[in-house]
Amino acid sequence: MWCLFLRTFKKQAEGLQAENSCVQSKLGGWRELVLQFPQTLDLLHKVVIPSTLSSSESDVSLDEWISQQDPHSSLRGLAEDCRQALNNVSEGSALCGMLGSEGTCLLCVVSGV
């Protein structure tokens, strides 16, 4: 009976580890996007929107135009919020970190990691 339980638990642990690997991979991609965002903002600042299209008295950069659409938030603020959220998720999403604060993860022991 215990062997069946351990075999089932090991399969579930392997599934959780695979899922965790997938999440970590996606987090890495999102982290890369957030890290590259300052270059994207620089590019948006270089794109000029003529005053005839921007309903403003003078030409504005795309970055400025986007900021004018919502004066209560900014792209830089959004990027910082995303960076902080990714850091929070990264700190709490490691499978072993969530399950074993004592340094030993039962799933890792059972699955032989």
* Contact between residue 68 and residue 49 where contact means Cβ atoms under 8 Å apart: no
**Predicted confidence band of residue 12 (pLDDT cuts 50, 70, 90):** confident
Structure tokens at 23: 């999440």
pTM above 0.85, yes or no: no
* Contact between residue 35 and residue 44 where contact means Cβ atoms under 8 Å apart: no
If DSSP codes are grouped into helix, strand and coil, which group holds residue 47? coil
Q: Per residue in 60-98, pLDDT tens?
A: 999 898 888 888 888 888 888 888 888 887 666 554 444
Q: Per residue in 37-60, pLDDT tens?
A: 889 999 999 999 998 887 788 999
- Alpha carbons 60 and 20: distance in angstroms, whole number: 44
